[in-house]
Amino acid sequence: MILSARHDVKFLDLPAIKAVEGVVRLPGSKSISNRILLLAALADGVTTIRNLLASDDTARMLDALEALGVAIVPIDGNDYRVRGIGGQFPLRFPVDEADLFLGNAGTVFRPLTAVLALSQGRYRLSGVSRMHERPIGDLVDALRQVGADITYLGKEGFPPLQIQPAHIRGNAITVKGDVSSQFLTGLLIALPLSAPAGGEALAITVMGQLISRPYVDLTIALMDRFGVHVENEGWRQFALPGGQRYCSPGEIFVEGDASSASYFLAAGAIGGGPVRVEGIGQDSLQGDVHFAEALEKMGACVRRGDNWIEAGTSKSGYLRAIDLDCNHIPDAAMTLAVAALFAKGTTTLRNIASWRVKETDRLVAMAKELHKLGAIVEEGPDFLRITPPPGGSLAVHAAIDTYDDHRMAMCFSLASLGVPVRINDPACVTKTFPDYFEKFTAITKA
């Protein structure tokens, strides 16, 4: 079996796996890594970041910040030292003109758009073709409310973008909440930089339903670590008391990635286990830690500690189907879609419209690839309904397309717990988890 996720490897053949058991040390969280990098760059002082994720997405943030003149020094393994620019109004990066290529990293593109729009520089932000298909109009509209000068260089409402110096004014913004929580995250991080120290309170009002709320909670918690407090008023308004500025906490540790944990925990639930993931625990900041609760609803045996979570097969020996609102675990919900192949009954995953504006249209992609394995799938505008193949036997040797989407590759590796499966373009996992297949194979028993 090929284990490499090198870019010259076109496919990966996974044999049928009889059982899984073991311990996996998780890589750092992508969501936490990129938020901390940006906050450290904006803060007053030097921040030592421990256990930063090594991946394509964090590389895009590191490259962008360095291109903007932020001093970043690798010090040991995945540890970095960042000298902040002392971000306060008016915000100025050392480099006031740059052309930034941000790949397909939403956790880089959206927050950087907000921060740079409130700075006094000229910047061009672009990405891969898929990033230019991912909407950003709601964020741009919100930033224009305070005077930001942003121009679309292609299709209206989508990247690439041109940002010019502008007179920033006003202390209140309204933004839609039903497309991506990254828009609100970007505004929350940027808004403290829009008013002079000692100024009036700042406020962001959310229109409509706010999706992926745990990611907003994560942003607020990390901002607090850097000295800026946000008041969440019923998920409708977010208030930032005036006079706050980012200050380095000195040292900060990146939790293991809870979304990545979902693949190993699901493997334990499907394939016997137990499988333990280390680097997150019962008090994790990340919303996807609640994936373990979904597994429990499916009947899996789950245990938790301060820095670990463990999952194994249920006492009955099988998983049961669930009907779940997945707004709180949008990324990890993809793992549930594949776990549903091994559950008795029909599983329904609801409130996942955000899948359509991710690295690919994940609702379409997931339905198509589940069909290849013999599942009966109903795709709705914001839900997916999955019934295992009649008789419970998955189609053998299905070739799974991954759509340049890391989570498609990692999710469908779990199909090998039933049948041999081919994963096309396995290198897409480098976006967040370059050695995923090596760690997955380490817990398997063929």
pLDDT of the residue at 35: 98
- Considering the domain architecture, whether residues 161 and 308 belong to the same structural domain is answered as no
Mean pLDDT of 374-395: 96
**pLDDT class of 4 with cuts at 50, 70, 90:** very low
| pLDDT over 90 percentage in the chain | 89
> What confidence tens digit (pLDDT) does each residue in 65-120 have?
999 999 999 998 899 999 999 977 778 999 999 999 999 999 999 999 999 999 99
Give the end of a domain, one of 201, 216, 241. 241
> CA 75 to CA 106: how far, in whole Å?
27
How many residues appear in the chain?
446
Q: Are 382 and 358 in a shared domain?
A: yes
Q: At what angle do helices 30-42 and 106-117 cross, to 10 degrees?
A: 20
- On whether both 234 and 311 belong to a single domain, the answer is no
- Residues 430/280, Cβ–Cβ less than 8 Å: no
Known active-site residue 382: no
User: What backbone phi and psi angles, to 5 degrees, belong to 383?
Assistant: -150, 165
- CATH number for 275: 3.65.10.10
Q: Kindly state whether residues 117 and 35 are assigned to the same domain.
A: yes
Residue 260 belongs to some domain of the structure: yes
6 located within any domain: no
Same domain, 221 and 264: no
Q: Can you tell me whether residue 16 is helix, strand or coil?
A: coil
User: HSE-up of 190 (CA within 13 Å, CB side)?
Assistant: 28
Mean predicted confidence (pLDDT) in 256-265: 97
What average pLDDT does this structure show over 138-153? 97
Rounded-to-integer distance, Cα 128 and Cα 135, Å = 13
Same structural domain, 19 and 133: no
Beta bridge partners of 320: 344
> How do residues 295-338 score in pLDDT, each as one tens digit?
999 999 999 999 999 999 987 788 999 999 999 999 999 999 99
* Alpha helices per DSSP H over 118-180: 137-144
Pair (210, 236) in one structural domain: yes
SS3 state at 82: strand
Q: Find out whether 14 and 373 touch, Cβ atoms under 8 Å.
A: no
Starting at the edge strand that comes first in sequence, how are the strands of the sheet with 79-83 ordered?
Answer: 71-76, 79-83, 46-50, 251-253
Residue 5 maps to a domain: no
Same domain, 58 and 181: yes
- The tokens 């340049």 sit on which residue? 404
> How far apart are the C-alpha atoms of 219 and 225, rounded to whole Å?
10
Marked catalytic residue, from 331, 401, 405, 425: 331
- Quick one: 283 and 404 in the same domain? yes
Q: Check residue 7 and give its pLDDT.
A: 62
Residue type, position 220, single letter: I
State how many domains the chain has: 2
Domain, as residue range, for 339? 11-27+255-445
